[in-house]
Amino acid sequence: MKHYLAAAFNLSGPLPDESSEDLTEFFNQFVEKTQESKKEGEFAITNINADGNQLSFVIASVNSVPPHVALLRIRKQLAEAIGKKYRVGLRGFEFRKYTIETEIEQEPLKEFTLPLTKKIEFSKKEDKFYAKIEIDPEIPEDFVEKGTIERIVRRVNDKAAKQHYGAKKEHHEIVWSSGEKELFTDQNPTTLMQEANWIQRTNYRNQWILSPTITTLAEAMKQIMVDYIYKPLGYDQMMIPKLVDWSIWLRSEHAEGIYQGGFEPYFVVQPKEPTPEYFEEIADYITITKTIPTEKLAEKVTAPIGGLSYAQCPPFWAWLQGKTLAKSSLPIKIYDWSGPTYRYEAGSAYGFERVDELHRIETLFIGSPKQAKKAGTAVRDKMRIIFNEVLDLEVREAQVMPWWLQQSASEQKMDKETDLVGTIDYEAYMPYRGTREESEWLEIQNVSIIGTKYPKGFSVKAEGNVELWSGCCGGSFERFLTAFISQKGLDQKNWPEPFLKYIDKLPETIKFH
Ligand code: ATP
Ligand code: MG
Ligand code: ZN
């Protein structure tokens, strides 16, 4: 890697002329020490110039200490050296120009820029690819201190690689199948349920009102999960918060994937001032016009402070954050269905299988790698029984590349953990969509063994420094029931006995005149 940094320290006052020898000596020593510590590479500091309240210099390095790292070290040492002797303090630094030339793994398919960079140029020399990154000189000091430059360099490499990766088809391999089942309809299940008054669209996009009838079926599904999974495997229920602030999505790394194809949250804002006076004009306006002045309202609320529950388990981790778990408490096994999950499903209106307000059951396990693997396998076995035997659904298991592995785009990591860490999707055949071979099956549930990602992200440890892994599984009632109705129809006489056992009597639907 090749770096060039022209920068300056801001001083509390001018340095006296007689300091110039000391400065030369200081920088020479710094360069010498750096070269000694790094046997290879080149490192030089030139153009040292004290002028008024600024001390400017140029650091150039090739395969050696990056200049911004050197600058932070110099700042500390120099502050001591000149502070005492000349009573001049260092008041931070400014960049004038910073360029970083680095080799990247793949040639980008198209150019791109990044925040906090001025320019990124790509080139190719003898089958090798290079990026020349010019850092925005306005980059805040604390970002330089906290690793932003390193992450810019990494992001350039990953973004170029991802352009190739994105063009490839997502990894999807069928690893188990229930085989063909008896199907009783080839109608669109959403239409069937709408016509029967089991579900009704609201005024809001992809949101539905669930009648007593469909709620009874959801309740039955819930009870089946309890009886087949949670009771025998020893899972406890808990209530995970459903409003998620940024600190959580930062740690879970969801924030990094915001609207990048895997995380499409609803945002939450707060009133800037929660007082009657502040909102009085809005209240008056609504009262006299019977309309909502949304633009005006937008001025009175904050920027998003986070959003609504998206993947259910991230806010759970705030509970364990920074703690060390007792060995006797492992593995932790919990489930949650205490509230809806929200996703902004882009595109046109969808049926009941793709809603913006969904009702998911989340299964979560945490333990040693061995415990996590065992828990994940056990849940997977039970899921098969529920879908295949209780609901008698035509389903298959697909091994897919989960977004959290995809996002990191790190092939190395994949190779190492791939046989243990990963996601199994359950997919149901939807006859109304076409043939088994050609139509798109519906994902109804996933089972994921996630590895160290969450314990690391939330700084959770285990007694005796045992490595901690976690895994989670999510499936929505909307998907279970859409899949079920699309294969079995509305007529209960065609429904499997083990499922019917969980339904006393379906409530009468409300009839409209
Ligand atoms: P898809 O690719 O179909 O959008 P996904 O990959 O976004 O699914 P996950 O994030 O893996 O889904 O969520 C796990 C489960 O949550 C899904 O298997 C499904 O049961 C449920 N789910 C996700 N999005 C929706 C939705 N919009 N409506 C109903 N259920 C959903
Ligand atoms: Mg989705
Ligand atoms: Zn989860």
Bridge-partner residues for 2, per DSSP? 62, 101
Q: Is residue 404 within 8 Å of residue 263, measured between CB atoms?
A: no
Concerning whether 121 is annotated as a catalytic residue, the answer is no
In terms of domains, do 343 and 372 share one?
yes
What is the Cα–Cα distance from 197 to 282, expressed in whole angstroms?
37
pLDDT for position 131: 97
* Residue 512 maps to a domain: no
In terms of domains, do 286 and 344 share one?
no
* Residue 508 maps to a domain: no
Outline where 240-307 has alpha helix (H). 246-251, 276-289, 294-299
Residue type, 195: E
Q: What are phi and psi of 42, to 5 degrees?
A: -125, 145
Concerning whether 479 is annotated as a catalytic residue, the answer is yes
Q: Which of 336, 392, 397, 425 does the annotation list as catalytic? A: 425
What is the Cα–Cα distance from 206 to 395, expressed in whole angstroms?
25
Name which residue sits closest to atom 27 of ligand 1, judged by CA.
354
In terms of domains, do 432 and 320 share one?
yes
Per-residue pLDDT of the chain (513 residues; tens, 9 = 90+): 999 999 999 999 999 988 989 999 999 999 999 998 877 899 999 999 999 999 999 999 999 999 999 999 999 999 988 888 899 999 999 999 999 999 999 999 999 999 999 999 999 999 999 999 999 999 999 999 999 999 999 999 999 998 887 655 678 899 999 999 999 999 999 999 999 999 999 999 999 999 999 999 999 999 999 999 999 999 999 999 999 999 999 999 999 999 998 899 999 999 999 999 999 999 999 999 999 999 999 999 999 999 999 999 999 999 999 999 999 999 999 999 999 999 999 988 899 999 999 999 999 999 999 999 999 999 999 999 999 999 999 999 999 876 556 655 444 444 444 456 899 999 999 999 999 999 999 999 999 999 999 999 999 999 999 999 999 999 999 999 999 999 999 999 999 999 999 999 999 888 888
396, 446, 450, 472: residue to mutate for ligand 1 pocket, most atoms within 8 A of CB:
446
In terms of domains, do 295 and 379 share one?
no
In terms of domains, do 429 and 481 share one?
yes
pLDDT for position 416: 47
pLDDT for position 411: 46
Concerning whether 411 is annotated as a catalytic residue, the answer is no
From 259, 446, 425, 433, select the one nearest 351 (Cα to Cα): 433
What are the Cα distances from residue 71, in Å, to 34, 68, 76, 449? 12, 5, 9, 42
**For strand 306-308 and strand 267-268, is the pairing parallel, antiparallel, or unpaired?**
antiparallel
Q: Which of 22, 101, 345, 389 does the annotation list as catalytic? A: 345
pLDDT for position 40: 84
In terms of domains, do 202 and 103 share one?
no
What is the Cα–Cα distance from 153 to 168, expressed in whole angstroms?
24
Looking at residue 389, the DSSP 8-state letter turns out to be I
- Report angle CA 25, 30, 34 to the nearest 5 degrees: 150
Q: Which domain range does residue 50 map to?
A: 2-167
Concerning whether 436 is annotated as a catalytic residue, the answer is no
CB atoms within 10 A of CB 341: 21
End position of a domain, from candidates 147, 167, 187: 167
What are the Cα distances from residue 479, in Å, to 38, 189, 428, 476, 490? 58, 11, 9, 5, 16
Concerning whether 384 is annotated as a catalytic residue, the answer is no
* Residue 83 maps to a domain: yes
Residue type, 288: I
What are the Cα distances from residue 219, in Å, to 151, 193, 420, 444, 466? 47, 17, 33, 17, 39
In terms of domains, do 119 and 193 share one?
no
Q: How far is the CA of 161 from the centre of ligand 3 (A)?
A: 27
pLDDT for position 420: 66
Please report, for the domain that includes residue 494, its CATH number: 3.30.930.10
What is the Cα–Cα distance from 411 to 430, expressed in whole angstroms?
34
In terms of domains, do 143 and 187 share one?
no
Concerning whether 155 is annotated as a catalytic residue, the answer is no
End position of a domain, from candidates 152, 167, 182: 167
What is the Cα–Cα distance from 422 to 424, expressed in whole angstroms?
7
* Residue 507 maps to a domain: no
Q: Is residue 424 within 8 Å of residue 376, measured between CB atoms?
A: no
What is the per-residue DSSP string for 225-239? Answer: HIIIIIHHHT-EE--
Question: Token pair of 296, please?
Answer: 């005006």
Concerning whether 473 is annotated as a catalytic residue, the answer is no
In terms of domains, do 422 and 401 share one?
yes
Number of structural domains the chain divides into: 3
Q: Which of 362, 392, 394, 478 does the annotation list as catalytic? A: 362
* Residue 18 maps to a domain: yes
Q: How far is the CA of 443 from the centre of ligand 2 (A)?
A: 9
Q: How far is the CA of 444 from the centre of ligand 1 (A)?
A: 7
Please report, for the domain that includes residue 113, its CATH number: 3.30.70.1920
pLDDT for position 512: 83
Question: Closest-lying ligand to the alpha carbon of 425?
Answer: 1
* Residue 404 maps to a domain: yes
pLDDT for position 406: 60
Question: Closest-lying ligand to the alpha carbon of 345?
Answer: 1
pLDDT for position 415: 46
In terms of domains, do 311 and 408 share one?
yes
In terms of domains, do 347 and 238 share one?
yes
pLDDT for position 168: 59
* Residue 253 maps to a domain: yes
Element holding 395 (H helix, E strand): strand 395-400
* Residue 509 maps to a domain: no
- The residue count for the chain: 513
End position of a domain, from candidates 253, 283, 303: 303
Name which residue sits closest to atom 28 of ligand 1, judged by CA.
354
Strands (E), 314-386: 324-325, 332-336, 341-342, 357-358, 360-367
pLDDT for position 412: 43
Residues, CB-to-ion distance under 5 Å, ligand 3: 313, 472
CA dihedral 156, 162, 164, 167 (to 10 degrees): -150
Peptide bond into 232 cis (omega under 30): no
What is the Cα–Cα distance from 161 to 164, expressed in whole angstroms?
6
In terms of domains, do 104 and 12 share one?
yes
Q: Which residues line ligand 1 (CB under 6 A)?
A: 343, 345, 354-355, 358, 360, 443-446, 474-476, 478-479
What is the Cα–Cα distance from 219 to 221, expressed in whole angstroms?
5
